[in-house]
Amino acid sequence: MPSPYRALFAAPGTKAFSAAGFLGRMPLSMMGIGVVTMVSQVTGRYGLAGALSATLALSAAAIGPRVSRLVDRHGQRRVLRPATLVALTAAAGLLLAARFQWPDWVLFVCAAGTGSVPSLGAMIRARWAALYRGTPQLHTAYSFESVVDEVCFIFGPIISIGLSTAWFPEAGPLLAACFLAAGVFWLTAQQATEPAPHPGERHGGGSALRSVGLRVLVATFVATGSIFGAVDVVTVAFADERGHKGAASVVLALYAAGSCVAGAVFGLLRFGGAPERRWLLGVAAMAVSMIPLLLVGNLPLLAVALFVAGLSIAPTMITTMSLIEEHVPRARLTEGMTWVSTGLAVGVALGSSAAGWVIDAAGARAGYGVPAVSGAVAVLVGFLGYRRLRRPAAGRGGTVEQHSERDVRNLA
């Protein structure tokens, strides 16, 4: 590992909370695609599978920011454990409903309950911010966490789809639930690195979403999330139509691998200039990368196209976290990060649902039109909100990039 990354772990407890966060984030890439694989195997209905995945994502979008707001006020340990128990109970109900083919409405109720899963990525980033706020290490830490996210997306779909297709349909989501339980309870046992709560914010300040800049980021990432949700569902169907459904996990892993490589390199660099400009360029690159998917006709070409498409993901997400630091007050940082995840979750819901219906109506290849349209919408929203991102919230000290890059502005 390059030295900037090694230096991150000099502080006591960093290795342990990072490892717990990795374990607890595996369900992020396993549960949704596991539900799609499970339900499509049991019922053969991609429309239902996509709708359930959308329900899970929408529920997470509705509940996640409220969980994170409580975390900012009361601390991670007091909030995450009960929220996780609710999610695990609902997940157990979802697996039982699929196994015994209970009515569809039971599946939807359980999927909605599973959405109470907390945003572990926001919790880990908040711990890094508490340790390294205002230093160059925070940029590296955010880059490292984006790499961890992508490692989860490399191995998560492989494990989830592989278990569900080779063992039994519920195996992938079941293991995802086990990872969630282990990760959350291990993380919350580590109180030494837990960020201090801000109980005084309870009666004032309102939601982090009052920040205009944060609203721009969230709105843009609704469209971006549609790309991710649609690509997941369509790729499974695309591989299934060609008689290699299990290969979908490898193809999706290459999509995440592209992002992982880009994120690791991005973390070693220091940039000058405005981060919002890099952010908009990243969103545009994500949109353009969806166009080749409309032209591929086999799995090897699809794998190459998705790897290239993945190169723009992590740098855009890393820059987004820096922009959140600029636009959201410190006492609501966890909530602010979760709102971006919420935007992604809403987009995943819309994209997976739309892709499922397009696949049922016109086939898998037509389904790649959904992420292409979503990318165009993301660019439009980002462009319209660009000026608002250039005006940070009053009283904010600037992003970690601005604090740490005053001496390297000529690198841009």
Q: What is the CATH number of the domain that holds 84?
A: 1.20.1250.20
Is residue 406 in a domain?
Answer: no
Is residue 307 in a domain?
Answer: yes
Beta carbons of 46 and 40 less than 8 angstroms apart: yes
Radius of gyration of the CA atoms of the chain, in A:
20
How far is it, in rounded angstroms, from Cα 71 to Cα 208? 13
Q: Give the other-Cβ count within 10 Å of 273's Cβ.
A: 14
How far is it, in rounded angstroms, from Cα 77 to Cα 98? 32
Is residue 410 in a domain?
Answer: no
Q: Token pair 């709102």 is at which residue?
A: 339
Question: Reduced to 3 states, what is the DSSP secondary structure of residue 268?
Answer: coil
Is residue 143 in a domain?
Answer: yes
Is residue 141 in a domain?
Answer: yes
How far is it, in rounded angstroms, from Cα 153 to Cα 86? 24
Q: Which domain holds residue 50?
A: 15-194+207-394
Stated as kind and residue range, the H or E segment containing 299 is helix 299-310
Is residue 288 in a domain?
Answer: yes
Give, in order, the Cα–Cα distances in Å from 29 to each of 8, 85, 176, 180, 357.
Answer: 25, 19, 9, 11, 22
Q: Which two tokens stand for residue 109?
A: 């109720």
How far is it, in rounded angstroms, from Cα 255 to Cα 311? 8
Is residue 280 in a domain?
Answer: yes
pLDDT in tens, the chain (412 residues): 456 778 888 888 898 999 999 999 888 778 877 888 888 888 777 778 878 877 887 788 788 888 888 888 888 888 899 999 999 999 999 999 888 888 889 999 999 888 888 888 889 988 988 888 778 788 788 888 888 887 887 778 778 888 888 888 888 889 999 999 999 999 999 988 888 887 765 444 566 767 788 888 889 989 998 998 889 889 988 888 888 877 887 888 888 888 888 888 887 777 666 778 888 999 999 999 999 998 888 888 999 999 999 999 888 988 888 788 777 777 777 778 878 877 887 787 788 778 888 888 888 888 899 999 999 999 999 998 888 876 554 444 443 333 333 232 232 2
Is residue 401 in a domain?
Answer: no
The CA-based angle 203-220-136, given to 5 degrees, is 75
Number of structural domains the chain divides into: 1
Question: Reduced to 3 states, what is the DSSP secondary structure of residue 284?
Answer: helix
Amino acid identity of residue 201, one-letter, is: E
Write the CB contacts of 335 (distance below 8 Å, at least 6 apart in sequence): 65, 68, 69, 71, 72, 207, 208, 328
